Amino acid sequence: MLDVLLSVQAVPTAPKSEGTAASVPNPQFTPEKKREPNYQVELDYTAVLVPDSERPPGFESNTRSINVWLKGDDQILSQVDRVTYFLHPTFNPSVVTRYSAEDKFKLSFSAWGQFELKTKVYFRDGKVRDVSRYLSFY
Protein backbone atom coordinates (compact mmCIF):
# COMPACT_ATOMS: atom_id res chain seq x y z
CA MET A 1 0.00 0.00 0.00
CA LEU A 2 1.12 3.41 -0.80
CA ASP A 3 0.91 5.95 1.98
CA VAL A 4 -0.15 9.36 0.80
CA LEU A 5 0.78 12.27 2.88
CA LEU A 6 -1.49 15.23 2.50
CA SER A 7 -0.54 18.50 3.94
CA VAL A 8 -2.98 21.27 4.40
CA GLN A 9 -1.59 24.70 4.74
CA ALA A 10 -3.57 27.12 6.82
CA VAL A 11 -4.02 30.61 5.43
CA PRO A 12 -2.79 33.07 8.00
CA THR A 13 -5.42 35.52 9.26
CA ALA A 14 -4.99 38.65 11.26
CA PRO A 15 -6.41 38.55 14.73
CA LYS A 16 -9.61 40.55 15.04
CA SER A 17 -9.44 43.57 17.20
CA GLU A 18 -11.90 46.31 17.94
CA GLY A 19 -9.85 48.84 16.00
CA THR A 20 -9.91 47.10 12.62
CA ALA A 21 -11.53 48.72 9.63
CA ALA A 22 -14.03 45.88 9.38
CA SER A 23 -15.68 46.91 12.64
CA VAL A 24 -16.01 50.61 11.75
CA PRO A 25 -19.12 51.48 9.71
CA ASN A 26 -18.77 53.62 6.63
CA PRO A 27 -19.71 57.17 7.75
CA GLN A 28 -21.30 57.86 4.35
CA PHE A 29 -23.71 54.95 4.68
CA THR A 30 -26.89 55.35 6.68
CA PRO A 31 -29.33 52.44 6.77
CA GLU A 32 -32.72 53.36 5.31
CA LYS A 33 -34.58 52.59 8.50
CA LYS A 34 -32.72 55.36 10.36
CA ARG A 35 -33.23 58.03 7.71
CA GLU A 36 -36.07 60.41 8.43
CA PRO A 37 -37.21 63.23 6.18
CA ASN A 38 -36.19 66.64 7.43
CA TYR A 39 -39.27 68.74 6.83
CA GLN A 40 -38.27 72.40 7.19
CA VAL A 41 -41.45 74.47 7.07
CA GLU A 42 -42.54 77.67 8.77
CA LEU A 43 -45.45 80.08 8.82
CA ASP A 44 -45.37 83.35 6.95
CA TYR A 45 -47.98 86.09 6.95
CA THR A 46 -49.04 89.52 5.79
CA ALA A 47 -51.14 91.97 7.81
CA VAL A 48 -52.77 94.89 6.01
CA LEU A 49 -54.52 97.75 7.75
CA VAL A 50 -58.23 97.79 6.90
CA PRO A 51 -59.69 101.32 6.58
CA ASP A 52 -62.52 102.09 9.04
CA SER A 53 -65.02 102.44 6.20
CA GLU A 54 -64.33 98.88 4.96
CA ARG A 55 -64.69 97.03 8.28
CA PRO A 56 -67.85 94.93 8.43
CA PRO A 57 -70.50 95.76 11.07
CA GLY A 58 -69.71 93.99 14.32
CA PHE A 59 -66.04 93.69 13.41
CA GLU A 60 -65.01 97.32 13.63
CA SER A 61 -62.20 96.47 16.04
CA ASN A 62 -60.59 94.05 13.56
CA THR A 63 -58.06 96.50 12.19
CA ARG A 64 -56.02 94.06 10.07
CA SER A 65 -56.67 91.70 7.20
CA ILE A 66 -54.33 88.74 7.70
CA ASN A 67 -53.14 86.05 5.31
CA VAL A 68 -51.11 83.17 6.75
CA TRP A 69 -49.51 80.38 4.72
CA LEU A 70 -46.99 77.58 4.95
CA LYS A 71 -43.53 78.51 3.73
CA GLY A 72 -40.91 76.01 2.59
CA ASP A 73 -39.18 74.36 -0.33
CA ASP A 74 -41.63 73.35 -3.09
CA GLN A 75 -40.48 69.72 -2.89
CA ILE A 76 -41.25 69.63 0.84
CA LEU A 77 -44.57 71.46 0.44
CA SER A 78 -45.62 68.85 -2.14
CA GLN A 79 -45.39 66.28 0.68
CA VAL A 80 -47.88 68.14 2.90
CA ASP A 81 -51.37 66.63 3.10
CA ARG A 82 -53.06 69.33 5.20
CA VAL A 83 -52.48 72.08 7.77
CA THR A 84 -54.67 72.60 10.83
CA TYR A 85 -54.59 76.11 12.31
CA PHE A 86 -55.33 76.71 15.99
CA LEU A 87 -56.39 80.35 16.32
CA HIS A 88 -56.99 82.25 19.54
CA PRO A 89 -60.06 80.77 21.31
CA THR A 90 -62.03 83.99 20.71
CA PHE A 91 -62.20 83.15 16.98
CA ASN A 92 -65.22 81.26 15.74
CA PRO A 93 -64.27 78.70 14.56
CA SER A 94 -60.93 78.64 16.34
CA VAL A 95 -59.69 75.44 14.64
CA VAL A 96 -59.52 75.48 10.84
CA THR A 97 -57.96 72.96 8.42
CA ARG A 98 -56.69 73.81 4.94
CA TYR A 99 -56.08 71.20 2.22
CA SER A 100 -55.00 73.32 -0.76
CA ALA A 101 -51.32 73.00 -1.64
CA GLU A 102 -51.88 75.34 -4.60
CA ASP A 103 -52.11 78.38 -2.30
CA LYS A 104 -49.67 76.94 0.28
CA PHE A 105 -52.51 76.09 2.69
CA LYS A 106 -53.38 79.80 3.07
CA LEU A 107 -55.75 81.00 5.76
CA SER A 108 -57.31 84.49 5.61
CA PHE A 109 -59.01 86.30 8.49
CA SER A 110 -59.32 89.70 10.12
CA ALA A 111 -58.10 90.46 13.63
CA TRP A 112 -56.58 92.93 16.04
CA GLY A 113 -54.09 92.53 18.88
CA GLN A 114 -51.64 89.69 19.23
CA PHE A 115 -51.60 85.95 19.80
CA GLU A 116 -49.61 82.82 19.05
CA LEU A 117 -50.90 81.02 15.99
CA LYS A 118 -50.25 77.28 16.31
CA THR A 119 -50.50 74.69 13.56
CA LYS A 120 -50.15 71.00 12.96
CA VAL A 121 -48.67 70.17 9.57
CA TYR A 122 -49.64 66.68 8.38
CA PHE A 123 -47.36 65.03 5.82
CA ARG A 124 -48.37 62.31 3.38
CA ASP A 125 -45.98 59.81 5.02
CA GLY A 126 -47.79 60.13 8.37
CA LYS A 127 -45.36 62.53 10.05
CA VAL A 128 -46.78 65.56 11.89
CA ARG A 129 -44.91 68.80 12.70
CA ASP A 130 -46.02 71.44 15.18
CA VAL A 131 -45.27 74.92 13.81
CA SER A 132 -46.17 78.21 15.48
CA ARG A 133 -45.71 81.93 14.93
CA TYR A 134 -46.39 84.86 17.17
CA LEU A 135 -48.61 87.41 15.43
CA SER A 136 -48.83 91.02 16.55
CA PHE A 137 -50.76 93.82 14.86
CA TYR A 138 -51.75 97.08 16.49
Q: Does the pLDDT value for residue 6 go beyond 60?
A: no
CA distance 60 to 114: 16
Amino acid identity of residue 115, one-letter, is F
Task: Measure the CA–CA gap between 11 and 56, rounded to whole angstroms.
Answer: 91
In a domain, 11, yes or no: no
Provide the number of structural domains found in the chain: 1
Helices (H), 1-138: 74-77
Domain that holds residue 119: 38-137
> pLDDT tens digits for 52-98?
888 888 888 888 889 999 999 999 999 999 999 999 888 899 999 99
What is the per-residue pLDDT across 14-44, written as a single tens digit (0 to 9) for each? 455 555 444 455 455 444 454 456 789 999 9
Which of 107, 109, 98, 118 is CA-nearest to residue 137? 109
Q: How many CB atoms lie within 10 A of CB 105?
A: 24
Instruction: Tell me the CATH number at 94.
Output: 2.60.40.1970
Locate the DSSP E strands across the chain. 41-49, 64-72, 80-86, 95-98, 107-111, 113-123, 128-137
Residue 74 lies in a domain: yes
**More confident position, 137 or 115:** 115
